[in-house]
Structure 1
Amino acid sequence: MSNKATDTLDRAMGALIGGALGDALGMPTQLLSPARIAAVYGHVEDFVAPFADHPVSKGLVAGTITDDTEQALLLGRILIESGERFDHTRWVNALLDWEREVKARGSYDLLGPSTKRAIDAINNGTPAEEAGRSGDTNGAAMRIAPVGIMMPLAPLDALVAKVAETCRATHNTSIAIASASAVAAAISSGVAGSDWRAACQQAIAAAELGTALGNWVTGGDIAARIGWAQALVRGKGMKEAIRLITDLVGTGVASQESVPAAFAVLEVAEGDPWQAAVISANLGGDTDTIGAIAAGMAGACTGFSKLPQQHIARLVGIDIAEVRALAGDLVAARLAKAGSGKDAAA
C-alpha cells in the first residue's frame, strides 16, 4: 500500500472512530442541561456511566456507543453493498432490521425523531420515498461519515448528490441534506489530506449546494449558520464557548442547531478530536450526536493514529477490526472513483 493510500485509510479510520469517541463520551450527558451535567458528573473529561434513571441512556456502561455510530457503520456497509447506485430498498430494509434489533435491546428511545417517524411510517405502508419528506433533524448528518469517506471531494455536486440519495428515506428535506452535505464534505476534505480549517470551508460550499435539494422546509440557512457559529466562538475559552453554543447556537436535535454547534465545537477545539468530544459532552442537549459529528470531522483531519488510543481501547459496542475492514472498503471505492488514485485535497 502506498504512503498516500495508508494515510487515506488512517484518516478514514479517524473519521469513524473519532465519531465513536464523541458519541460514547456524550452518551451519559445527552438531553441534560449544562447545569445538570455539572451537578451529576462535574466537568466530563472521560467516559462515565449514566445515572440510574437517565431518560434514555440508563443501563448503559461507560464508553458505550449509541445509534449515531451504529447507523454510520450500517450506512457504510450498505454503500459498499450497493456499488455505484445506492440501493434504496436495501438501506430501508437494513434500517428496519436495525430498528427491530434496537427495540429488542430495549433502546428504542435512542432513535432520533425523524428516523423513528420515517421507520414507523414505512412499517405502516408509506412508500420509502415519501417517508422522509418531513425529516429535518440531525439523524442524516450524524451517520453521513461513510459517504464523506467514499466520495472524493471533487466534483462537489456528485458528493452532495450521493448525500441526498442516502437521505431520501428518513431526511429528504433541504435543511437535513444541507447539514449532512456539510459534514460529509468536511470529512471528505479531511480524508483527502486537508486540515480542519480548509475542511470547514468545503463544508460551507457543500451546504450551499445541498440546500437546493429535497423537500423545502423552514429553518435557518445551514451554510450561513455554520460560518456564524464558528465566528461566534473563535478565540473564546472553553467555558465561555460552551455558554455561547448552548444559549445562542442551540444544542437540540434540529439540524440548524446541532450541526452548526458541531462546527463551533470544532473551532473551539482547534481540530483536536478528543477536545471536540469533551466540549460536546459538556454542552447539554444532543451531546452524543454533536460529539459524534465534531469529533468525526476532527478525526478525519488528523487520522486514527493521532487519536487517544487509551480511550479507543475502552469503547464498548464496537469492533475495531470490523471498522477497519469497512474503512478499507470505503477507501478502495473512493480511490476507484478518483481514477488514478490521486485525490483532490482542499
Structure 2
Amino acid sequence: MTLQSRATGALHGLALGDALGMPTQMLSRPDITARYGPFLTGFHPAAPDHPLAAGMPAGAVTDDTEQALLLAELLLDRKGRVDAAELARRLVAWEDDMRARGSLDLLGPSTKRAVELVLAGTPVDEVGRYGTTNGAAMRIAPVGIAVPVAEPAVLVDRVVEASSLTHNTGVALAGAAAVAAAVSAGVDGASVPEAVEVAVSAARLAAGRGHWVAAADVAERIVWATGLVRGLTEAQVCERVYALVGTSLATQESVPAAFAVLAACPDDPWRAALLAASVGGDCDTIAAIAGAVGGACHGVDAFPADARETLARVNPTLQLDATAAALLELRGRT
C-alpha cells in the first residue's frame, strides 16, 4: 500500500465519517436507534427537525471536514506552518460563508470564543486558554499527514502551533496530539492497535502543554476506553461508549470514544465509522476521527467505492486526493 493511499484514506475517512454522523450528531443514542435502527448502514439526510443540520442531504459533510481542509490549505500556503492570526481570519471568513449558506453548523464554543477575542485585540497566546472542547482534535488530521511521528516532540510542537489559538489547554492539545500522531503512524504503515499506542504516547507528551484545566487525562482514558470494549458485541460497544466513555464535545470524552470504536473494529474503518456515527452525542466528530485514523492505517480502498462516489457527488468542491498529495510533499520538511 502506498503513502498516497494511506494519506488519501485519512482525508476520505474523515469526510466519510463526518458525513455519516451529520444526521445523527447531537442526538441521543435512543433517538438514533428509534430513527435509524441500532446501527447506521449508510448515509442519511438530516431530519427536518434536526437542531443543526436540517435540510442537509445524505452524504453532506459538516464543519469537521471543512475546518480540517481549511487547516490543510493554511499548512500548504505556509509550507507546513500555521500562523495563528491568519487561522483566525480564515475561521471568521469560513463562518461568514456558512451563515450566508444558511447553515446552523458554525464555530464550536472554544473556537468561537477565541476568534472573538482575537478580533477584539486580545494577544493570540491568551485567547485559547479556556478551549477544552474537541475542535482542535476534529480538524488536526492534516498535521498528521504532513508531519512524521518519528520525532514525537516535533509532531506535538506542530499540533500546538495549529491548535493553541483556539484550544490552548493541556486536555485539548492532548486530544489533538493523539489524533495527529495516530494518523501519522497510520500513514507510515502502522496497524490500528499500533496507531493507538502511538496516540497514547503523544497525548501524554502534549498534556503538559498549554494551560492547565481540571479535566480527566486523555491518554489514560484512551487506554481505558479501548480496553473497555474488548470482546463486546457491536451493540454493546455503542452502549458502553455512550453510557461510560461519553460522547459530548469534551475532548476527554469524544477522543477516547473514537479510539474505543476503532479498537472494536480494527480491521474495517468503514464499519468503525458506521458504529461511531451511531453512538450518539457529537458523533460526526467521533466518526470523523475514527475514519481518519482507520483510513490512514488501511488506505482509501478500505472504504466502499459507492460511498466515496456519493461523497464526491454531494460535496463537489472537496479535493481530497489532491490535498492529501500536497500534504505528503510537506512530510519530512516540516
TM-fit CA distance, 1:305:
2.3
Question: Partner amino acid for 1:44?
Answer: L
For the residues of structure 1 that align with 2:33 and 2:154, how far apart are their CA atoms? 43
Which of 317, 321, 324 lines up with 2:321 in the alignment? 324
For the residues of structure 2 that align with 1:65 and 1:24, how far apart are their CA atoms? 5
TM-fit CA distance, 1:130:
1.9
For the residues of structure 1 that align with 2:41 and 2:327, how far apart are their CA atoms? 31
Question: Partner amino acid for 1:88?
Answer: A
Give percent identity, aligned residues only: 49
Matched, 1:30 2:28: no
Residue 108 of structure 2: aligned partner: 112
For the residues of structure 2 that align with 1:70 and 1:199, how far apart are their CA atoms? 24
Task: Assess, with a 3 A threshold, how the Cα gap between structure 1 residues 334 and 40 changes in structure 2: closer, same or farther.
Answer: same
Residue 39 of structure 1: aligned partner: 34
TM-fit CA distance, 1:88:
2.1
SS at match of 2:23: helix
Question: Partner amino acid for 1:317?
Answer: N
Residue 252 of structure 1: aligned partner: 248
Kept in 2: contact 1:185–1:202 (CA 8 A)? yes
- Specify every segment of 5 or more residues in structure 1 that has no aligned partner in the other structure, as ranges: 1-5, 338-346
For the residues of structure 1 that align with 2:101 and 2:265, how far apart are their CA atoms? 34
For normalisation by structure 1, the TM-score amounts to 0.92
Which of 231, 237, 259 lines up with 1:235 in the alignment? 231
Residue 278 of structure 1: aligned partner: 274
After superposition, residues 86-105 of structure 1 pair within 5 angstroms as 86-105=82-101
Residue 161 of structure 1: aligned partner: 157
Task: Assess, with a 3 A threshold, how the Cα gap between structure 1 residues 84 and 309 changes in structure 2: closer, same or farther.
Answer: closer
SS at match of 1:28: coil
1:205-258: per-residue Cα shift (whole Å, max 9, x none)? 000000010111111101100000000001111101111101100000000000
RMSD of equivalent CA atoms: 1.4
For the residues of structure 2 that align with 1:323 and 1:239, how far apart are their CA atoms? 32
Kept in 1: contact 2:80–2:146 (CA 8 A)? no
Kept in 1: contact 2:53–2:104 (CA 8 A)? no
For the residues of structure 1 that align with 2:5 and 2:114, how far apart are their CA atoms? 34
TM-fit CA distance, 1:60:
0.4
Kept in 2: contact 1:269–1:276 (CA 8 A)? yes
TM-fit CA distance, 1:83:
1.9
Residue 134 of structure 1: aligned partner: 130
Matched, 1:204 2:206: no
Kept in 2: contact 1:92–1:128 (CA 8 A)? no
Matched, 1:72 2:45: no
For the residues of structure 2 that align with 1:84 and 1:293, how far apart are their CA atoms? 21
Residue 62 of structure 1: aligned partner: 58
- Specify every segment of 5 or more residues in structure 2 that has no aligned partner in the other structure, as ranges: none
After superposition, residues 154-193 of structure 1 pair within 5 angstroms as 154-193=150-189
Which of 6, 9, 18 lines up with 1:14 in the alignment? 9
Kept in 1: contact 2:268–2:302 (CA 8 A)? no
Residue 334 of structure 1: aligned partner: 331
Question: Partner amino acid for 2:93?
Answer: D
Kept in 1: contact 2:63–2:105 (CA 8 A)? no
Kept in 1: contact 2:81–2:158 (CA 8 A)? no
**Worse overlay, 36-45 or 281-290:** 36-45
For the residues of structure 1 that align with 2:106 and 2:267, how far apart are their CA atoms? 28
Question: Partner amino acid for 1:187?
Answer: V
For the residues of structure 1 that align with 2:243 and 2:264, how far apart are their CA atoms? 16
Task: Assess, with a 3 A threshold, how the Cα gap between structure 1 residues 89 and 123 changes in structure 2: closer, same or farther.
Answer: closer
Q: How many residues align?
A: 331
For the residues of structure 2 that align with 1:263 and 1:195, how far apart are their CA atoms? 13
Residue 3 of structure 1: aligned partner: none
Question: Partner amino acid for 2:292?
Answer: G
For the residues of structure 2 that align with 1:85 and 1:48, how far apart are their CA atoms? 37
1:66-99: per-residue Cα shift (whole Å, max 9, x none)? 0000000110110111125432222221111111
Matched, 1:195 2:191: yes
For the residues of structure 2 that align with 1:11 and 1:84, how far apart are their CA atoms? 19
Question: Partner amino acid for 1:81?
Answer: D
Kept in 2: contact 1:68–1:292 (CA 8 A)? yes
TM-fit CA distance, 1:318:
4.8
For the residues of structure 1 that align with 2:101 and 2:80, how far apart are their CA atoms? 34
Question: Partner amino acid for 1:197?
Answer: P
For the residues of structure 1 that align with 2:122 and 2:97, how far apart are their CA atoms? 21
Kept in 2: contact 1:195–1:301 (CA 8 A)? yes
Kept in 2: contact 1:25–1:278 (CA 8 A)? yes
Kept in 1: contact 2:133–2:250 (CA 8 A)? yes
- Superposed structure 1 runs of 4+ greater than 4 Å apart: none
